[in-house]
Every structure is written in structure tokens, then in C-alpha cells.
Amino acid sequence: MDFNQSHSVKLNDGHFMPVLGFGTYASDDVPKSKVGEATKIAIDVGFRHIDAAYFYQNEEEVGKAIREKIADGTVKREDIFYTTKLWTTFFRPELVQQGLERSLKKLQLDYVDLFIIHVPFAMKPGEELLPKDANGQIILETVDICDIWEAMEKCKDAGLTKSIGVSNFNHKLLELILNKQGLKYKPVCNQVECHVYLNQSKLLTFCKSKDIVLVAYSALGSQRICGTWLKENSPILLDDPVLGEIARKYNRTPAQVALRYQLQRGIVVLAKSFKKERIKENFQVFDFQLTPEDMKTIDSLNRDFRYTEPAHFKDHPNYPFHEEY
Ligand SMILES: NC(=O)c1ccc[n+]([C@@H]2O[C@H](COP(=O)([O-])OP(=O)(O)OC[C@H]3O[C@@H](n4cnc5c(N)ncnc54)[C@H](OP(=O)(O)O)[C@@H]3O)[C@@H](O)[C@H]2O)c1
């Protein structure tokens, strides 16, 4: 990946994506005002790529923060790269555009830079984010991904989004789209869990071969939110002693090394923090370089460990994590 001066990568549709993104997901117990404050700090310290989603239920606050930073002259709209995601309850060809328009309305923006399929399966449409049946089971549906992709292409043609992509796809699901008859636009990216314990080397090689950018989420070891999809007894990534040792050598922090590692692999990386000092720290990753030996040492930490494995969806035919990559 060649970084240009603004630390961006050229996507396969000609648009540019900043290689370091600010994550905006927080659990329901975090006041929504926090995400707005954090987004403004992120823009102030230099983040230009903001990763969000309809599912996060905070696009009003994130949109307001962006608009305030435009109004006070810190940035122009075109300086910001904003991603939103198609939630599964809009996973019907006739609902895709509506899903994006809902986000735009909350954001009070005319377009997003990137619209991605959040996960490769459908849930029953409706206002509930996780629709459940009388037994408390999430109601899943099977819808053809290629039909959804055509609807995503129409959103790009309508000017509601500059680029389109996917998230949580394995290589077989990506191939379904790439081999689709009459494909108009390739996905520009695949956003997946990726960190030193799950380095996704095979998926990365596949994506690179198709000119699809891999975007890493949970690069700092995920938010470890109890009672959700996090695996129990999962390791604390930023406490890893090897990461700590390398960080000390460069006079950096484990978080900075974990982010820098992804950038040097040609991966676009997301980092979430709502704490000012950490947001600043996470942006300081462009002024040092890990040696090839240190990159190899970090590669060896891989243990194909997934923090987020949504067990409810395991029986769905498009469940992406049964495949090796
Ligand atoms: N496509 C998908 O399905 C998907 C799934 C998950 C995430 N995402 C996206 O990716 C973003 C990032 O992933 P994530 O939310 O799992 O979190 P993450 O970036 O792995 O961060 C995990 C935690 O690390 C802490 N942290 C951040 N910087 C730190 C630092 N410098 N030192 C020590 N601790 C630090 C943060 O806590 P504090 O806030 O307390 O600092 C944060 O909760 C999300 O916010 C979302 O935008 C997408």
C-alpha cells in the first residue's frame, strides 16, 4: 500500500480512503454525548476517516460533531471520509437505499463516502435492531447477496455514497460478488476483525489479489463488553508481553505498535477510544517504523483467535466464520 501525503490509499473505484480510522461503536451504557465529544477530538487531532453504522445508534451525535467541525472551519466535508453500514433488517433489495437514507437523515449529510454491508445475512425487516421470535430467538432470513449488491450499486449511482464495500465477508462470499453476472462495481473493501491474535494473512493475500482493501476492526483487542458477543476468558491484547517489549524499544505504547503493524501490512486500521489522551496517542503512528524482524515477531503472535463470534448466527448459510478465511 502506498501512503500518499495525506496517509490515504487509492480504492479500486478511484476514491481515496485514509489509512487510519476512528471507531465510533460503544455499548448502550455509554452516554451518546460521549461519541460526539470523542469524534470532535478525533477530528481535532487529525483523524479524517470515521467509521460508523446504523446499528451503533449514534449517527445523530457523530453527524452533529462532524457538522460542527465543518462549521468551525477545522475541516471541509470533502476532507472527511465517513463510513456507514447496511444493517441486516434492511437486507432486502427494496430496503437497501432506505437503510442508507435513514443514516443520512440522522447525520444530516448529503452523502457518505463508504456504504458497506455490515454482515452477510438478513434479519426480519422492521424497527427492531435484533428482531426476536416468541422464544427469544433472533429471526434470520436468507436473501441473495448478489441482489443486495445490485441495490448497493444503485446507491452509488444515485450519489448517496461515493464507494461501496462489505464487512465480515470470507473469501467465498467475496467471490460470490466478484463472479456475479453483470457486476458493475467491485467492493472497495472488506472490513473484518483483524489484530495481532487474528492476523488474517490468508484473507489479506486474497483481498490484495483482487484490489480490495482490508480494513481492520478490533485492532486493539475489541471493547471487551460483557454480556455481548465477546468470547469468555479472552486474552487482553494490549497486555501482551511481546507487544509491550517491542513498544518499549521504540518508546511507544502497545496500542501504537498494534496499529502501526497493520499499516505496514497494507491494512487500513480502525481505533476506538473515547479518551482524549488515547485518541491523540492512537494518531501518533506515522512517525516511526517497525523493522522487518519486529514485524515477523508480531506475525508470530497470531493464534487465529476471534474476539467476536456471534453464536446466534452460526446456522445461517452465510455465516462467514466457518471458513478458514
Ligand atoms: N464491521 C463490524 O462488524 C465491526 C465490529 C466491531 C468494530 N467495528 C468498528 O471498529 C471500531 C474499533 O473496534 P472496537 O470498537 O472493537 O475497539 P478497538 O479499536 O479494538 O479498541 C478497544 C478498546 O481499547 C481501548 N483503547 C483505545 N486506545 C487505547 C490506547 N491507546 N491504550 C489503551 N487502551 C486503548 C478503548 O477504550 P477507551 O474508549 O476506554 O479508551 C477501546 O474500548 C469500532 O468502534 C467500530 O467502528 C466494526
Amino acid 112: pLDDT: 98
Radius of gyration of the chain (CA): 19
Q: Do the Cβ atoms of 269 and 191 come closer than 8 Å? A: no
pLDDT at 3 over 60: no
Render pLDDT for 160-169 as a digit per residue (tens, 0 to 9). 999 999 999 9
Label residue 227 by pLDDT band (50, 70, 90): low
For residue 74, which of 37, 108, 45 has the smallest C-alpha distance? Answer: 45
Amino acid 233: pLDDT: 79
Amino acid 303: pLDDT: 97
Amino acid 23: pLDDT: 98
What b/e string do you get for 264-277 counting C-beta neighbours within 10 Å, with b at 16 or more? bbbbbbbbbbbeee
Render pLDDT for 26-81 as a digit per residue (tens, 0 to 9). 999 999 999 999 999 999 999 999 999 999 999 999 999 999 999 999 999 999 99
Minimum-distance ligand 1 atom for the alpha carbon of 275:
41
Render pLDDT for 236-286 as a digit per residue (tens, 0 to 9). 999 999 999 999 999 999 999 999 999 999 999 999 999 999 999 999 999
Q: Among residues 25, 56, 261, 307, which one is catalytic?
A: 56
Q: Pick from 86, 88, 218 the residue to mutate for probing ligand 1's pocket: most ligand atoms within 8 Å of its CB.
A: 218
240 CA from centroid of ligand 1 (Å): 16
pLDDT at 4 over 80: no
Sketch out the chain's domains with CATH numbers. Answer: 8-318 (3.20.20.100)
Q: Do the Cβ atoms of 200 and 214 come closer than 8 Å? A: yes
Amino acid 5: pLDDT: 52
Question: Does residue 185 carry a catalytic annotation?
Answer: no
Task: For residues 112-127, give the mean pLDDT.
Answer: 96
Maximum C-alpha span of the chain: 56
Q: Alpha carbon 146 to chain centroid distance?
A: 21
Q: Pick from 35, 55, 226, 273 the residue to mutate for probing ligand 1's pocket: most ligand atoms within 8 Å of its CB.
A: 273
